[in-house]
Amino acid sequence: MKYLFILLLVLTSISVNAQNNAFSSGEKLTYVASYNMSSILTDIAQVTMETSDAKTSKATLMRLKCTATTYSKWDTFFKIVDLYESYVNPKNLTPYLYKRDIKEGNYSKFMKYTFDQKTNTIKSIQRKGLKAEENKTFSIKSGTKDIVSSLYNIRLFDYKSMSIGSIKSFIIVFDREEIKGQITYLGKETISTNIGKKECYKLAISSSEKVLQGKNNNLLWLTADENKIIVYGKFKIPVGNGELKIKSAEGLKN
């Protein structure tokens, strides 16, 4: 499941100053994650993406929450309970706080980032299993975002103004490292989904890391409307390939 989220994380803010008109608090998107097992594409987990208000003493932020949980029949084989969340400015999705808490089989890890946008630094806390807590402050480039705020940021871009073949570069931070990536706009395509037939923007994703395999093997389809929700994804990674299919969509803004 780590690779599934890495696929998603290599999508980030194409326009740092883009304003959020695509979603608001109360949205919930539910997906089925499938993986190729013994040459058979098998549904193994449910992925949810939810937005909500988070009030602080100084402002009201938006909480972006992503979870992945294996279906119970797979728990004895390899149980996954992953949580990723980011607290951001609701207008432009600038991140202030990021948390990652994953449990995959016998492996567990917790990571917390506190962003300082003025100095372009992150104060991080990391725990792996029963090991002692590790604290580290490190620098990032301006505009770098965490995995969750990056994922939501792709919905802010005006794809109507992009020509087929347009390439946009970006940087995300994951496991205290910045990763370079790019998306290529492949045009529009109409596909059938569990929430109906949708005209979509089709994107190809690639990264500097050897996580995503091949050219145009990692693809996402976003609805070609004001919501721009992800309805379908295909990925090829070092340990195999799979799909992400939308199951339901609630609380859409537009």
CATH number for position 18:
2.40.360
Q: What is the mean pLDDT of residues 64-88?
A: 95
Confirm whether 252 is domain-assigned.
no
Q: Is the pLDDT of residue 4 over 60?
A: no
Confirm whether 191 is domain-assigned.
yes
Q: What is the mean pLDDT of residues 234-246?
A: 82
- What per-residue confidence (pLDDT) applies to 239? 64
Which element (helix H / strand E) includes 98?
strand 95-104
Instruction: Tell me the residue length of the chain.
Output: 254
Cβ-based neighbours of 187, under 8 Å, separated by 6 or more: 164, 201, 202
As a whole number of angstroms, the distance between CA 97 and CA 113 comes to 6
Domain span holding position 121: 2-247
CB atoms within 10 A of CB 6: 20
Confirm whether 254 is domain-assigned.
no
Confirm whether 160 is domain-assigned.
yes
Q: What is the mean pLDDT of residues 140-157?
A: 90
- With pLDDT > 70 as the criterion, what percentage of the chain qualifies? 88
Among 44-53, 88-97, 144-153, 245-254, the minimum mean pLDDT is found in 144-153
Mean pLDDT over the full length of the chain: 88
| Domains: count for the chain | 1
Q: Is the pLDDT of residue 213 over 90?
A: no
- What per-residue confidence (pLDDT) applies to 180? 82
- What per-residue confidence (pLDDT) applies to 147? 87
Return the higher-pLDDT residue of 96 and 18. Answer: 96
Q: Is the pLDDT of residue 22 over 50?
A: yes
**Radius of gyration over alpha carbons of the chain, in Å?**
17
pTM: 0.88
Confirm whether 93 is domain-assigned.
yes
As a whole number of angstroms, the distance between CA 128 and CA 34 comes to 27
Confirm whether 61 is domain-assigned.
yes
Structure confidence at residue 237 as a pLDDT band (50, 70, 90):
low
Confirm whether 253 is domain-assigned.
no
Structure confidence at residue 242 as a pLDDT band (50, 70, 90):
confident
- What per-residue confidence (pLDDT) applies to 113? 98
As a whole number of angstroms, the distance between CA 202 and CA 244 comes to 14
- What per-residue confidence (pLDDT) applies to 41? 86
Structure confidence at residue 244 as a pLDDT band (50, 70, 90):
very high
Range from 6-15, 120-129, 167-176 that averages highest in pLDDT: 120-129
